[in-house]
Amino acid sequence: MSADPNLIDRLERLAAALERMAPPSAPPIDFTLAEAFVWQTGPEAFIPVPHVSRQPLALLKGIERAADQLLDNTLRFAKGFPANNALLWGARGMGKSSLVKAAHAEVRQRLEKKPGRDDLKLVEIHREDIDSLPRCLFHMRPAPHRFIVFCDDLSFDHDDTSYKSLKAVLDGGIEGRPENVLFYATSNRRHLMPRHMMENERSTAINPSEAVEEKVSLSDRFGLWLGFHNGSQDQYLEMIRGYAKHYKLAIADDELVRDSLEWATTRGGRSGRVAWQYIQDLAGRLSVKLG
C-alpha cells in the first residue's frame, strides 16, 4: 500500500514549520571567559564580568576573624576538600559582600601557581532570582570548574515562598548539591526574616514553635555563620589609614583623623562603607584616582 504523496508533503511542511517555531538551542556555556559571572534568568545565561569591583583582602580591617574563617573555608573548597555553605550576617556596611569577593580573589591568587587545579568561579545570583537557583546549578554541575554562588542582601518577606528553592538546594534534594558548588549569602538578618514577622507568627499561630520553624530553619542549612558587628572608632581609623596608605593619599595623619571622624559624625556611623565613602571623597579632593 503506497502512501498518499499529498499527505507526505503536508507532514513534511508541518514538521518544517514546527522546527521554525521551536526556540533555538542554547549555546554552550563557556566558563573560561571570565572569573566571575552574573546569572540571568530570561533568557538563561551567565553574563561574564570583565572586572570585579572589590578591595584587596588586606584592606578589610576589623573583620579579621571572619576573614580567616571564610578564607580557610573557600581554600578547602577550591582544593576539592569538604567545605560549608556560608551565611555572613549582621551590621550594614561592615564588609560582608566585600569579604566574599576578596576571599574569592585571594584564593585564586594563592592557587594560581598550582598545576592542574580547577579554576574557582564566582557567580552572583540576584535575590529576586532565587527561585531559579536549581536551573542555575543544573548548568554548573557538569562543568570542570568549582563555583561559589553568591547572593547579596538575602532576606525573605511574609508571603515569599522562594526560600523553598534555596532550602532544597542547601539540603541537596534527591540529587544532592553539586560537589563543585558552594553557596555564600549575606544578610542583615541572622534568620533571613524580620524579627517582627517571627514574633507576629508566633503570637497568632496555634503551635507557635512550629509557625516559623520552616523559615527559621533555612539559616540552619548554612554550616558556617559569620557575624558582623558595628565597628569601634579605632577600627574605623584603622580602615581609613589602611586605605590612605594603600592609595598613597598625601595627607597628614592628624588631619586625616580629624577629617574622617567629622565625616563619620555627619554620616551617623563608623562602618567600612562609611570609611570607603570618605576615602573616595578625599581622593577626589586630592585629585587622586583610585584603581
Nearest to 141 by CA among 192, 104, 178: 178
Q: Give the mean pLDDT of 173-177.
A: 66
pLDDT score for 5: 67
Question: For the domain with range 31-228, which CATH number is right: 3.30.70.270, 2.40.30.10, 3.40.50.300, 3.40.80.10?
Answer: 3.40.50.300
The pLDDT assigned to 205 comes to: 47
Angle, CA of 31, 35 and 37, to the nearest 5°: 70
The confidence band for 150, taking pLDDT boundaries of 50, 70 and 90, is: very high
pLDDT-above-70 percentage for the chain: 77
Question: Which pLDDT tens digit goes with each residue over 178-190?
Answer: 899 999 999 887 7
Helix (DSSP H) and strand (DSSP E) numbers for the chain:
11, 7
> Tens digit of pLDDT for each residue in 60-90?
988 999 999 999 999 999 999 999 999 999 8
Per-residue pLDDT at 46: 95
pLDDT of 34 above 70: yes
Domain boundaries of the chain, sorted by first residue: 31-228, 233-285
4 vs 241 pLDDT, higher one = 241
**Residue 198 confidence (pLDDT):** 47
Q: Which residue has the higher pLDDT, 234 or 4?
A: 234
Q: Is the pLDDT of residue 197 over 60?
A: no
Instruction: Give residues with Cβ within 8 angstroms of 219, minimum separation 6.
Output: 87, 190, 191, 192, 225
Of the pLDDT bands very low, low, confident and very high (cuts 50, 70, 90), residue 4 is low
pLDDT of 114 higher than 80: no
Is the omega angle on the peptide bond into residue 43 within 30 degrees of 0, that is, cis? yes
pLDDT band at 27 (very low <50, low <70, confident <90, very high): low
Q: Bridge partners of 44? A: 41
Distance, CA of 86 to CA of 182 (rounded, Å): 8
Range with the lowest mean pLDDT among 68-72, 112-116, 126-130, 146-150? 112-116
Given this model, what pLDDT does residue 206 score? Answer: 46
